Chain A
Amino acid sequence: MPHWNKYLNLSAGPLLSIIVAMLIGAVFILAIGHNPLDVYYLLFSETLGNSYGIGQVLFKATPLIFTGLSVAIAFKAGLFNIGAEGQLNIGAFASAWAGFTFVSLPWYLLIPLSILAAFAAGAFWASIAGALKAKFGSHEVINTIMLNFIALALVSYLVNNVYLVPATIHTPGISPNAVLARFDIITGLFKGSPFNISFLIALAACIFMFYLIKITPLGYEITTLGFNRNAARYAKMNISRLTVAGLALAGGFAGLGGMNFVNGYKHYFEIGFSENAGYVGIAVALIARNNPFAVIAVAIFFGVLEYGGLTINTMVPKEIVTILQGLIILLVISLSYLFDKKNFRIKHSPAIG
């Protein structure tokens, strides 16, 4: 089973990193004067030990799948999308706007419209960075970071000055027809957690990205651009168009991520809802090595950490979890390098192979 071996090798690095990170994290927990075993037990039992906890984890994982995909597809095109946070906010606002503006539409029109609005708004926002890169060659890292600030200021302005519900920090509510149902209402499971249908949209987005890369000409061109810019140019591919398209797709994915909160949970747009999901998406994509299905697994793991941080917060500061996340990212990046070297050796050494 050569495939199995490949996946084992691929996941060995991340798994080892997680274990090492938790050991280092244990030192910090000890330093605060708590038993790490107690803390970790609480973290995992509260997140994965009951159906409410699982629902919370999957709810937290949903936007991370979207932002993970966003960063991953940009990586495929050789572009570094740091702008998922801004794209997520713009997309979420667009989805909310569609929801509270077109209130008279039936659900089978309003939900597709909301999805379209979220995707298009995120895509538009990211393609600004794409166009700047294509036209003037300014680096997308700078552009996307700066667009994050503009995006946050823009949605905040719109909420505070145009669409405000007084004495809150959110917009009016969306039409009931734009609501993505919660699983606890449909199935009776996950009681109390806002885990909702947008998770299924996230899974669909993963499949979409997989096929896009695997079988469409656009996917082929994007991957070529990512592998070697000059090769792509030599093959007479339109680099400018591909740069804009790659970032637009990235922005579209990120834009959809806000539906989890807006259409699935609160039914309005709230300032600060995104909790840095855009930035965590970078880590998700890195650890998942831009594989859309691995993104799901990594996002769920980060969901465990994100919700777990809250559950152990009565014992330790939740920065502990931020430390764990940071350690895991650092270790994965450095360890995967080690593992890759080993793979190389195995492949080419007749004595072992």
Chain B
Amino acid sequence: MKYKILILAITLLTFSCGKKDEPQNNTGKLKVGLVFDVGGRGDKSFNDAAYRGLEKAKQELGIEFEYIEPGPGADREAALRQFSNRKDISVIFGIGFIFTDEITKIALEYPDKKYACVDYTVDPAKTIPPNLVALEFREEEGSFLVGAIAGLLTKSNKVGFVGGMESPLIKKFQVSYEAGVKHVNPKCEVLIGYAGVTGDAFKNPGKGKELALGQYSEGVDIIYHASGVTGLGVFEAAREVKKFAIGVDSDQNDEAPGIVITSMIKVVDVSVYEIIKEVKDGTFKGGRVENFGLKSKGVDYVYSEKNRHLIPDEVHKRVETIRQEIIEGKISIPVK
């Protein structure tokens, strides 16, 4: 317990250096409430992407926002309800598939508020409330592409995957990545590791490093991670043994330049920003699914000045062909 407190105290002091008090005012500006997933802010990927969307909306649209980082279990509904009870907040976001049940329920209870849920699990048997937008991402399409990149680039014919919490969602990343690898390189072996079985597995860099070092020592030269903060440990391991990694959700190049070959990005930030813009412009329409795939560039892989030197032209060309084939429906991607 003492250690826990010490660690927390240090964390807090670190936080306190950067964070400034945000003045409270009731200027009648559009106010957004956002509830993060278990990983919370600072995961350098999924949740931070949502936060970037908020920041962008604040700067460009002049909105205000508040956020809550709930724990697992009953906190999600309580957090959504807390924002819904506030008069000054009119748009509420839930970040993560885990909010699906709660946000549906709350949206029905508060018909005057507007809701959006990233990674909402669409159930064809149920209707989406008229004040809720479901934001769905086709991670399998992006994962397939980075799988193809890994399969083309590997020299040892062994690549790895490190997942966060062993769950159907992350399984989808894994299976489609494997399919992408095998699509271009049927002989390539894929090693798989998961950091754990609870939400905490998304915030355990130590475990991520351990898993990655294990895979690298077995001859793997590229690891794709889908594990939130845990993935920072994968990069650390890659730096240590001078091998490669593939990032997820956000462009993670800056975490380990020269080592992160590319990242499978989900434009969570764009989706958050767009929804806020719609509300501001009065064009918000609920009860629908907004789909983000390769076609709409809702998911993609990073190919920029920063990492271009890591991806040879012929690999890039091949992957772009595959992209086209996926968009045209010529390749069907397994998800489980």
Residues of A at the B interface (CB closer than 8 Å) are 28, 31-34, 56, 59-60, 152-153, 156-157, 160, 164, 166-169, 192, 194, 261, 265, 270-275, 307, 310-311, 313-314, 317-320, 322-323, 326-327, 329-330
Contacts and interface: CB of A to CB of B under 8 A. Distances in A.
A313 B1 CA distance: 22
Interface of B: 1-2, 4-5, 8-9, 11-13, 15-16, 19-21, 38, 66-75, 77-79, 81-82, 97-98, 100-101, 109, 121, 165-169, 197-200
A152 B82 CA distance: 30
A169 B166 contact: no
Given A32-B19, A323-B8, A272 B199 contact: yes
Nearest to A167: B121
B26 to A, nearest CB: 15
Given A32-B19, A313-B68, A317-B15, A274 B73 contact: yes
A156 B12 contact: no
Nearest to B70: A310
A252 B284 CA distance: 51
B197 A28 contact: no
A121 B92 CA distance: 40
Contact of A314 (B68, B74, B77, B200): B68
Given A156-B166, A156-B198, 14 more contacts: A28-B12, A33-B19, A56-B78, A160-B168, A270-B73, A271-B199, A273-B74, A275-B75, A310-B82, A311-B82, A319-B12, A322-B8, A323-B9, A330-B5
A32 B12 contact: yes
Nearest to B200: A272
Nearest to B79: A310
A164 B72 CA distance: 18
Contacts of B38: 272
Given A32-B12, A160-B197, A169-B167, A326 B98 contact: no
Contacts of B101: 168
24 contacts: A28-B12, A31-B13, A31-B16, A153-B197, A156-B197, A160-B167, A167-B169, A169-B167, A265-B74, A270-B72, A271-B199, A272-B198, A275-B71, A310-B68, A310-B75, A310-B78, A310-B82, A313-B79, A314-B67, A317-B69, A319-B11, A322-B4, A323-B5, A330-B1
Contacts of B98: 169
A317 B73 CA distance: 18
Contacts of A270: 72-73
Nearest to A164: B168
A38 to B, nearest CB: 9
Contacts of A310: 68, 70, 75, 78-79, 82
Given A59-B74, A160-B167, A32 B15 contact: yes
A186 to B, nearest CB: 19
Most chain B CB within a 10 A radius of its CB, from A34, A166, A274, A314: A314
